[in-house]
Amino acid sequence: MIVTTKELFKAAYGKYAIGAYNINNLEQLVGLFRGNLGKFAKNEDPNDDAKSAPFIIQISRGARTYTDKNFLEGMIRTADKVFPEAIFAVHLDHGTEEVCYDCIDSGFYSSVMIDASHEEFAKNIEITKRVVDRAHEKGVVVEAELGQLGGVEEDVVGSVKLTDPAQAAEFVEKTGVDSLAVAIGTSHGAFKFSGNQGLHFDVLEKIQAAVNEVKPNFPLVMHGSSSVPAEWVARINNAGGAMKNASGVDEKQYFPAAKLGVTKINIDTDGRLVWCAIHREFFRDQPEKFDLRDPGKLFMPAYAEYIIHKNEMLGSAGHLEEVRKLIEAAK
């Protein structure tokens, strides 16, 4: 069931974070649904819903143009039929104004992200407000970004600028946006930290307090949150890869961040690492093989397992049935 992102935020705020996972192809999509339904767990128990979670599918501009945006839409609609128990939202990741309008007008997306974080504060407010007005007319939820994460984002390599708490409150009030991505130490990609840096919980605490003064229980979003597990990086490197010094966010920081209002946590890079390791190992070990379905059959359950693990770290695992009841009750 496709739901609005707002319904998921309401259920999760202050308790756990919803995983927002980027997808680009069919195998990722199938692994994602199976993982969020707790399928393909090592000791799968069909009556055990401790592993099932609500989730957000994210589609980047790059994903929309990799093949054609209509393929993604068609695949997601089909997944909704094949996995009727799933509860999820469909979100545009890092949109421009033009792409946001395309998604809003399509009637398919639950939410869009307008990313004008590279603009001056006043201009970011102006652009975000325009998108919010148009989105809200059609019941579409909007995420914006204030501050700069650093790392590679779509085709832009950015420098870091942590979100200012007072500006965050002003931004939320003036734009009417539904959630806000904040820069608190994370960055996009597989090379996030060179030492033992972590999240700036002091800044996050101040952002939550300031924003809640203007809008209580306002959901914050953390981009660049892949953990870049050493185990997957080692598997890639042992199978011919060259990902020296890759590192990510400590997964143990997700849950404390959720308690401070981070309600959506974005994960893309980790999914790519799982894909890369599985495919490299497959072709290293079986050089005579050339059927694309053979590594795909290994990737889908591996990705599902990874999603199950991720949801456990986010705290969203085991909340699917509770969210279903909340959504039914609100009808």
Interface residues toward ligand G3H, by CB under 6 A:
22, 60, 62-63, 93-94, 153-154, 188, 268
- Beta carbon of residue 111, minimum distance to ligand 13P (angstroms, whole number): 13
Nearest-angstrom CA–CA distance, 63 and 69: 7
Residue 246 or 267 having the CB closest to ligand 13P:
267
223 scored as a contact of ligand 13P (CB under 6 A)? yes
Nearest-angstrom CA–CA distance, 50 and 319: 8
Residue 223 or 264 having the CB closest to Zn ion:
223
Residue 41 or 184 having the CB closest to ligand G3H:
184
The pair of structure tokens assigned to 315 is 């705290």
The letter for the amino acid at 284 is: R
Contact region for ligand 13P (CB under 6 A) — 74-82, 130-138, 260-268, 317-325?
260-268
- Beta carbon of residue 186, minimum distance to ligand 13P (angstroms, whole number): 7
Classify strands 151-153 and 156-158 as parallel, antiparallel or unpaired.
antiparallel
179 scored as a contact of ligand 13P (CB under 6 A)? no
Q: Residue 141: name the closest of 176, 174, 102 by CA.
A: 176
226 scored as a contact of ligand 13P (CB under 6 A)? yes
Among 34, 223, 279, 310, binds Zn ion (CB under 5 A): 223
Residue 37 or 228 having the CB closest to ligand 13P:
228
Among 49, 143, 164, 268, binds ligand 13P (CB under 6 A): 268
51 scored as a contact of Zn ion (CB under 5 A)? no
Q: What secondary structure letter does DSSP report for 111?
A: E
- Beta carbon of residue 224, minimum distance to ligand 13P (angstroms, whole number): 4
269 scored as a contact of ligand 13P (CB under 6 A)? yes
61 scored as a contact of Zn ion (CB under 5 A)? no
Residue 52 or 247 having the CB closest to ligand G3H:
247
How wide is the angle at C-alpha 10 spanned by C-alphas 76 and 178, nearest 5°?
80
133 binds, among ligand 13P, ligand G3H, Zn ion, none (CB under 5 to 8 A by kind): none
User: Which residues lie below 8 Å from residue 22, measured CB to CB, with a gap of 6+?
Assistant: 58, 59, 60, 63, 93, 266, 267, 268, 271
> Exposed, middle or buried: residue 93 (CB in 10 Å: 0-12, 13-18, 19+)?
buried
225 scored as a contact of ligand 13P (CB under 6 A)? yes
Residue 18 or 327 having the CB closest to ligand 13P:
18
Q: Residue 186: name the closest of 218, 214, 148 by CA.
A: 148
309 scored as a contact of ligand 13P (CB under 6 A)? no
- Count Cβ atoms below 10 Å from residue 120 Cβ, excluding itself: 9
- Beta carbon of residue 286, minimum distance to ligand G3H (angstroms, whole number): 29
Longest dimension (CA), the chain: 62
The letter for the amino acid at 322 is: E
Nearest-angstrom CA–CA distance, 102 and 85: 29
Q: Which long-range contacts does 95-99 make (Cβ < 8 Å, 24+ apart)?
A: 95/61, 96/61, 97/127, 97/130, 97/131, 99/61, 99/64
Nearest-angstrom CA–CA distance, 168 and 181: 10
Give the residue nearest to Zn ion (CB). 223
- Beta carbon of residue 41, minimum distance to ligand 13P (angstroms, whole number): 23
Residue 47 or 194 having the CB closest to ligand 13P:
194
- Beta carbon of residue 316, minimum distance to ligand 13P (angstroms, whole number): 16
Is the separation of the CB atoms in 255 and 16 below 8 Å? yes
Q: Which residues pair with 262 in a beta bridge?
A: 220
Among this protein's residues, is 68 annotated catalytic?
Answer: no
The residues annotated with a catalytic role in the active site are 93
The residues of the shown chain that bind ligand 13P, judged by CB under 6 A, are 22, 93-94, 188-189, 223-226, 266-269
